[in-house]
Amino acid sequence: MSLDYVKFAPGFEQFMPKEYRDMVEHGPFGKKTTVSQMGSFKEILEEHPMCAGCAMTLFIRLAIIAFPNPEDTITVGTAGCGRLAISQAAIPFVYGNYGDQNGVASGLSRGLRLRFGDKPKDVVVIAGDGGTADIGFQQVLHSWFRKERFTTIMLDNEVYGNTGGQESGMTTRGAVLKMAPLGKKFEKMDMVTMAKVAGCSYIATVVPNNPRRVESVIKKAVLIARDIGPTYIQAYTSCNIEYAIPTDKVMEDAKTVEDDRYKFTEYVSDEAKAYLAERYGYKEFMPKAVSASVTTA
């Protein structure tokens, strides 16, 4: 872990912007911050240009707080609303081309492994439903089939929000949106099943109104991706503009959608369970017999 780069060069403190000073003095680098401490430290993503009431922004903030080593994390994304916020975070964000985020992340992850060996350099893709399931579909699936070791997070607002509200593959059937004037003709794509078929070691679906759960799944996904294989998180992050959800009802909508059709699900491969237990001490995944013997000892 190299933290020197976030420190001031001697004599430069007084000339650095206040935000930078806040990040060095009160930021999360090198500390174990949690979502329950929100408001008491300088977040890696604070100011952003997102719409009022945007659930996606809350999810991104939670996800970044959950990164196990933010000082050694690089995010990768593509066009979409999420990119507008993530590119303002105080960790690097790589934007390549439209829909190529999983290709870029494949190369980045391999390049960093060549250069840094076992030192963890976490690569996390954060892209929208259009970027992941439509234009980026081929590269997403192939990165999973190749067992590339990085995390893919889909910000699923079920619409092309950034371009003004067009249907995506993740839109539910029947929804009337731009480019679907008679309603979407086919079902929402089942990316979770595809992730399973393609060999992801960890898969979870979440909504943003349970911060501790978001934190938990992100942390597990990033840790597993270090050594075991690809991990996938699909998050319902509603677009309150295109779906006309009143700002004060956004969290209520998330709860309703969660209860109705976006339930929390989590798949952890046996190999990933053993890894989390042995490497990071996850008690929930420790073999029962081993736990008992540890207790006895």
Partner 1 sequence: MEPTSVIGTKNKKGQVFTDPRIMMREAPRTPSFYTGSEVIKEAIRRASIDVMIAYPITPQSEAAALIGELFAEGYIGDYFRGESEFAVMSQCAGAAFGGARVFTTTAGPGTMRAMENFPMWAGARLPIQCIVTCRGINSPLSIQPDTIEISYLMQTGMLVWHAETAQDFYDWILVGYMVSEEPEVHLPLALCCDGFFVTHTKDVVDLTPTDMCLPPYDPYRSPVPCMDMECPPVRMMRDPFIMKSNYISYATHASWQQEVWAAAERSRKHTIAWLNGLIETEDVEADVLIVTSGTAVSQGREAIRLLADEGIRVGLVKIKTLRPWPEEEIKEATKHATHIIVPEFNVIGWMAKEIKATIPRSERVIAGPRVCGGMTMPPEIIVEEIKRALGVRSGTLAGRG
| Rounded to 5°, angle at Cα 81 from 80 and 85 | 120
Contact call for residue 5 and partner 1 (CB under 8 A): yes
Pair type for strands 73-77 and 93-95: parallel
Number of residues that bind partner 1 (CB under 8 A): 44
What DSSP character marks residue 189?
A: P
Question: Judged by CB, which is closer to partner 1: 151, or 171?
Answer: 151
| Rounded to 5°, angle at Cα 45 from 19 and 114 | 105
Cβ neighbours of 264 (radius 10 Å): 12
**From the centroid of its chain, how far is CA 199?**
18
Beta carbons of 240 and 53 less than 8 angstroms apart? yes
Tokens of 129: 């439903």
Question: Judged by CB, which is closer to partner 1: 17, or 181?
Answer: 17
Beta carbons of 291 and 283 less than 8 angstroms apart? yes
Site mask for partner 1 (CB under 8 A), range 56-85, x = bound: ---------------xxxx-x-------x-
From the list 13, 26, 37, 138, which residue makes contact with partner 1 (rule: CB under 8 A)?
138
| Terminal Cα distance for the chain, rounded | 34
Contact call for residue 118 and partner 1 (CB under 8 A): no
Give CA–CA dist 139/244, Å, rounded.
32
Contact call for residue 151 and partner 1 (CB under 8 A): no
Contact call for residue 231 and partner 1 (CB under 8 A): no
Contact call for residue 41 and partner 1 (CB under 8 A): no
From the list 21, 110, 196, 255, which residue makes contact with partner 1 (rule: CB under 8 A)?
110
Q: How far is the CB of 139 from partner 1 (least distance, A)?
A: 5
Q: How far is the CB of 281 from partner 1 (least distance, A)?
A: 25
Q: How far is the CB of 135 from partner 1 (least distance, A)?
A: 10
Q: How far is the CB of 26 from partner 1 (least distance, A)?
A: 14
From the list 115, 185, 283, 288, which residue makes contact with partner 1 (rule: CB under 8 A)?
115
Question: Judged by CB, which is closer to partner 1: 130, or 211?
Answer: 130
Cβ neighbours of 74 (radius 10 Å): 17
- With 0-12 / 13-18 / 19 or more C-beta atoms within 10 angstroms meaning exposed / middle / buried, residue 104 is buried
Q: Which stretch binds partner 1 (CB under 8 A): 12-20, 192-200, 215-223, 266-274?
A: 12-20
Question: Judged by CB, which is closer to partner 1: 14, or 295?
Answer: 14
Give CA–CA dist 279/35, Å, rounded.
23
Give CA–CA dist 155/130, Å, rounded.
9
Contact call for residue 15 and partner 1 (CB under 8 A): no
Give CA–CA dist 44/29, Å, rounded.
9
From the list 57, 139, 151, 152, which residue makes contact with partner 1 (rule: CB under 8 A)?
139
- Interacting residues toward partner 1 by CB under 8 A: 2, 4-6, 17, 19-20, 23, 47, 49, 71-74, 76, 84, 87-88, 90-92, 94, 96-98, 100, 103-112, 114-116, 121, 138-139, 142, 146
